[in-house]
Structure 1
Amino acid sequence: MDLRIGPWQIDIISGGEFMHDGGVLYGIVPKTIWEKFQPADSLNRVHLAMHCVLARSDEHVMLIDTGHGDKLSPLDRKSHGLMPGWPLRDALASRGLSPTDVTAVILSHLHWDHCGGATSRDGKDVVPTFPNATYYVNQREWEDATSGDVNVSGGYVEEDIQPLAKSGQLALVNHLDEIAPGIQVLHTGGHTRGHQAVLIKSAKRGLVFMGDIAPTTAHIRRMWCTSYDLDLPQTRKAKDELFAYAADNGHWIVWNHDRQTPISQVNRHPKRDYVIGSRDC
């Protein structure tokens, strides 16, 4: 893929792949319907990606999400069906980059498959993977993740996030905050109360990183949401608003868990709200 948006060179890179329960991914949608789009294995699991965005300009090297990282135990790696090694680090190395080159990391939310790579092991310690980066997290997301309230904090892993605060590299952001020229966070809520999408703007065609508001192209359908979503009506509202914005402006959508279609446009449709548009960057 060769995609440039304003001053930014954009690459979709792998933060890993994993196996996930299909019923969790597709929520209320019956298996007899969703398995036509993505067949499950004998354990009812479907094969998913963890796409991250690498955005480079003359002054910045930025990541959106970080995949699973290197901290999971062998048992957890087997349970999640993770591929060997640390794909995000390899993807950076293949482009001549090391973790020290990254200047900013935007996290859509703090679930392990999106922020596990934000920290890594250094001997017995867990430290930020990117020592020269500022990590941007939605303020509500951070408050929920560190609240100790099991109703909202049960999906977070302490060692994925606490080292960010201890190192002084954490920056809490809110709706419409600009991280760098042309890059803005959009507080969506829905999947988690502090979930945020990321917009890379341009005078012509931009890009929207949806996070888990729409993890795969199958989730272009209004009612298809994950069973993890804390606020289903808000997920559907945010999804419709972001799709409308992308369709009306010709923006790209990143489908962060879709192995076959990591990026595409979306178009309005008279009968089905939205359909997948061009996949050719």
Structure 2
Amino acid sequence: MIQVGNWRIDIVSGGRFMHDAGVLFGIVPKSIWQTVLPADSQNLVPLAMNCVLARSESQCVLIDTGHGSKLSPLERKSHGLFPGWPLLDDLATLGVTPEQVDHVILSHLHWDHSGGATSKTNGSLHPTFPSAQYVVNRQEWTDATSGQFERSGGYVPADFVPLKEAGALRLVDHLEEVVPGIQVLQTGGHTLGHQAVLVESEGSGLLYLGDIGPTSHHIRKLWCTSYDLDLIRTREVKKQLFDFAAQNAYRVVWNHDIDVPVSQIALHPKREHLVLT
């Protein structure tokens, strides 16, 4: 548990999966990245889906939802998913039911971040968190629902279309406040509508990076995923966010890092940025 002013912050698991390391590290040669995260014989590495539960006296906010429960056994096998649906288990351990979540902020709409946003019961899709308002970047929604393969080919409509049908969708823009103390920042880069989430209260803060910084190994300037639609933008905004976190001594969440889900960042004279665990 982390206290950020009047917000209690808990890291909850949206799942774990196996992922191709070459995709995770993009142009970085294997001879370099394998020194920090060794892969198995199939070039796969284990990754987390670290989500954030932020609670104040009046609000219960979930950031990202992991893989959810809708994937078929074959899809689960192909992604190397670990068993079960840990998000609901972790929430239950904290004494939180799906009905108690007021807002769900989605960094973007890829399956490993929004898959748990909806559930299927008796063949019918519905929001997993029935009382929540789901917060999605306007550009992200436009691209994901465009029907153009170049823009929407990486999305699964069942993860998010039911949110609009249920009247639970809130589209937001850059620097929009979701609730007092929690703000979204449209970063672009990974997707055009990708957004980070900033929690600030009483002089302290926490920054949810989403896939701008998927693991703490991505602290390096040129380490980005091959999924990034705008690689230059990812590099630019990563530096901006890292500088901001370091200068304010804010914690950051590395959403796919199993070993270091949360850290601080320091400025470094030679490496530019350094992870403080």
TM-score scaled by length of structure 2? 0.99
In the alignment, the residues of structure 1 paired with residue 173 and residue 93 of structure 2 have an alpha-carbon distance, to the nearest angstrom, of 33
Secondary structure of 2:204's aligned partner: coil
| Partners of 2:36 and 2:79 in 1: CA distance | 21
- Report the count of equivalent residues: 277
Query: Which residue is equivalent to 1:250?
Result: 249
Q: Partner of 2:171 in structure 1?
A: 172
2:22 alignment partner in structure 1 = 23
User: Conserved in 1, the CA contact under 8 Å of 2:62 and 2:101?
Assistant: yes
Shift of 1:203: 3.3
Match of 2:235 in 1: 236
Q: Distance in 2 between matches of 1:254 and 1:31?
A: 25
Equivalent residue letter for 1:153: S
> How far did 1:195 drift?
0.1
Which whole-Å CA distance do the structure 2 matches of 1:210 and 1:19 have between them?
20
Alignment match, 1:66:
65
Residue number in structure 2 paired with 1:184? 183
Deviation at 1:235, TM superposition (A): 0.3
Q: What residue identity is the alignment partner of 2:218? A: H
The residue aligned with 1:264 is 263
User: Residue 50 in 1 paired to residue 49 in 2?
Assistant: yes
What whole-Å deviation, never above 9, does each CA across 1:47-67 have from its counterpart, x for those lacking one? Answer: 000000000111111100000
Q: How far 1:152 moved relative to its partner? A: 1.5
SS in 1 for 2:116: helix
CA distance in structure 2 between the partners assigned to 1:156 and 1:193 by the alignment: 13
Q: Alignment partner of 2:68: what SS?
A: coil
Displacement of 1:118: 0.2
Q: Aligned equivalents of 1:6 and 1:169: distance in 2?
A: 28
How far has the Cα of 1:81 moved from its partner?
1.0
Amino acid in structure 2 at the alignment position of 1:87? P
Q: Distance in 1 between matches of 2:159 and 2:24?
A: 22
- Provide the C-alpha distance between the structure 2 equivalents of 1:150 and 1:22, rounded to a whole number of angstroms: 25
1:29-73 CA-partner distances (Å, limit 9, x unpaired):
011111111111111111000000000111111100000000000
User: What SS does structure 2 have at the residue aligned with 1:140?
Assistant: helix
CA distance in 2, matches of 1:166, 1:259: 35
Deviation at 1:10, TM superposition (A): 0.3
Instruction: State the partner residue of 2:2.
Output: 3
The residue number in structure 2 matching 1:163 is 162
Hey, what does 1:119 align to over in structure 2?
118
SS of the residue corresponding to residue 32 of structure 1 reads: helix
Unmatched 5+ stretches in structure 2: none
Who is 1:36 aligned against?
Answer: 35
Aligned-partner Cα distance in 2 for 1:167–1:268? 45
Q: Secondary structure at the match of 2:160?
A: helix
Deviation of 1:181 (Å): 1.0
Q: Which runs of 4+ in 1 moved over 6 A?
A: none
TM superposition score normalised by structure 1: 0.97
